[in-house]
Amino acid sequence: MEKTLVILKPDALQRRLIGKIISRFEEKGLQIVALKLLKMTEELAKRNYVQHEGRVFYEPLIRFMTSGPVVVCVLKGKEAVETARKMAGFTFGTKAEPGTIRGDYALSDRFNLIHVSDSIEAAQKEISIFFKEKELLEYEAVDYPWVYDVSQGVVV
């Protein structure tokens, strides 16, 4: 099972959308294995967004991500990275499809509610920025056999 990082950005908290957004991932069947509410420091934001350094939106992104509290969580499930990205929708709210998180709740390009890892490698790196290994909880989800077809002994 893959793990991915999701950050609910300051606008999601200010608009009181945390419960609605997290419930979408849970309803899909992704398992929450770590969750934190924190105020991102400039250093932490720069570490997470280092790949964008030098781009025109980098400094405004850092200011935005440090402007208020965020919720950082790790989700686990089959193809968790791709699934979470599809659920988040296109980066720009006005271009995101209805039914996605951004498509339903975002109109801005920068204030787009959610960050999701874009690859398995990025997810591993980003998770390590925000969580120690011991903070990732492994537990048996009782709905597991109802979310995944395990009738053949493997997840289908």
Q: Considering only CA atoms, which of 141, 135, 139 is closest in space to residue 36?
A: 135
The one catalytic residue among 96, 115, 116, 131: 115
DSSP letter string, 138-151: ----TTHHHHS--T
52 is catalytic: no
Distant-in-sequence, close-in-space partners of 114: CB < 8 Å, separation ≥ 6: 6, 7, 8, 9, 12, 21, 88, 101, 102
Alpha helices in 1-156 (DSSP H): 10-14, 18-28, 42-48, 58-65, 80-88, 101-105, 120-130, 144-147
Angle at Cα 58 formed by Cα 69 and Cα 66, nearest 5°? 15
Helix (H) / strand (E) element for 72: namely strand 69-77
Catalytic residue list: 115
